[in-house]
């Protein structure tokens, strides 16, 4: 009797194995394990934020909207502006390429970001998923990256608001030492001047950028997180 049960178990093992991996491809499994492999908790990024970024990244990749799907950039505006709260991750090579300071909008908050908007003239940051476009050289801010906001009502007004990624002297350690917090932009995610070009060259032309804050309305209604 025991021998018969053993053979029956062998017959069902393939079915059990397939059921356990039905909704997870090898590529997805690797990406989900990146948080542990890259020790992102030691850099201040929570696993919850990382997993939310992966959800939207997977959707954009599945829809064929990413020309550069290997790169994922996360901005975690739930952290103090004194933290290096921007993360550029190479999902294919499994590397954390950049972890740096990033400024939020002037009317979004002081040391901490609190208020967000998609409206022109608010000088606030906008939440959600973006697709990076090409770099430009602006007359005021210099080398910059065009961002396409793809979440209706949250950041799809980014182009009209001229929300771009650029370098700024107020987004530096020196500014923090003098003022106790990072400076603030007109709504753009601004980086240290010495890092803007290498970061832009890495993430431009069709990669995913996710700007996070635990805003209940955004988390509940974003089509990329459902």
Is the per-residue pLDDT at 21 higher than 80?
Answer: no
| The pLDDT of residue 16 | 33
Question: What is the dihedral sign for C-alpha 57, 58, 59, 64?
Answer: positive
Cβ atoms of residues 187 and 75 within 8 Å: no
Query: Could you give the C-alpha distances from 30 to 90, 94, 127, 173, in angstroms and in order?
Result: 12, 9, 27, 34
- As to burial, measured by CB atoms within 10 angstroms (0-12 exposed, 13-18 middle, 19+ buried), residue 107 is middle
Range 120-132 average pLDDT: 98
Backbone angles phi, psi at 151, to 5 degrees: -110, 110
Cβ atoms of residues 146 and 164 within 8 Å: yes
| The pLDDT of residue 30 | 56
Q: What is the pTM of this model?
A: 0.87
Is the per-residue pLDDT at 121 higher than 90?
Answer: yes
Specify the higher pLDDT residue, 82 or 28. 82
- Token pair of 44, please? 């201040």
Range 36-58 average pLDDT: 98
- Residue 142: partners with Cβ closer than 8 Å, 6 or more residues away: 166, 167, 196
Query: Could you give the C-alpha distances from 176 to 15, 84, 101, 184, in angstroms and in order?
Result: 57, 12, 10, 11
Condensed to tens digits (0 to 9), the pLDDT of residues 132-183 reads 999 999 889 999 999 999 999 999 999 999 999 999 999 999 999 999 999 9
The ranges assigned to domains in the chain are 2-221
Cβ atoms of residues 200 and 65 within 8 Å: no
Helix (H) or strand (E) holding 54: helix 47-62
Is the per-residue pLDDT at 5 higher than 80?
Answer: no
Is the per-residue pLDDT at 13 higher than 90?
Answer: no
Q: What is the average pLDDT score of the chain?
A: 90
Residue 96: name the closest of 84, 79, 80, 113 by CA: 84
- Token pair of 105, please? 């909008």
CATH of 2-221, one of 3.40.50.300, 2.40.440.10, 3.40.50.10300, 3.40.390.10: 2.40.440.10
d(CA 71, CA 34): 13
Condensed to tens digits (0 to 9), the pLDDT of residues 180-217 reads 999 999 999 999 999 999 999 999 999 999 999 999 99
Of the pLDDT bands very low, low, confident and very high (cuts 50, 70, 90), residue 19 is: very low
Residue bearing tokens 């987004």 = 171
């Amino acid at each position: 009797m025991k021998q018969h049960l053993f053979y029956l178990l062998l017959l069902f093992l393939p079915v059990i194995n397939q059921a356990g991996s039905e909704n997870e491809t090898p590529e997805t499994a690797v990406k989900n394990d990146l948080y542990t492999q890259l020790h992102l908790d030691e850099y201040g990024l929570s696993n919850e934020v990382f997993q939310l970024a992966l959800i939207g990244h997977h959707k954009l990749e599945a829809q064929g909207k990413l020309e550069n799907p290997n790169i994922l950039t996360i901005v975690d505006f739930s952290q103090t502006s004194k933290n290096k709260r921007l993360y550029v991750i190479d999902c294919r090579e499994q590397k954390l390429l950049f972890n740096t300071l990033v400024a939020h909008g002037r009317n979004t908050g002081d040391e901490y970001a609190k208020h967000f908007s998609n409206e022109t003239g608010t000088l606030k940051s906008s939440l959600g998923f973006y697709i990076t476009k090409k770099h430009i050289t602006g007359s005021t801010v210099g080398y910059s990256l065009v961002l396409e906001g793809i979440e209706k009502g949250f950041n799809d007004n980014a182009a009209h608001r001229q929300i771009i990624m650029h370098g700024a002297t107020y987004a530096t350690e020196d500014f923090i030492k003098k003022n106790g917090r990072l400076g603030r932009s007109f709504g753009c995610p601004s980086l240290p001047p010495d890092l803007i070009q290498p970061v832009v060259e890495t993430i431009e032309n069709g990669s995913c950028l996710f700007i996070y804050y635990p805003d209940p309305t955004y988390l509940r209604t974003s089509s990329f997180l459902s």
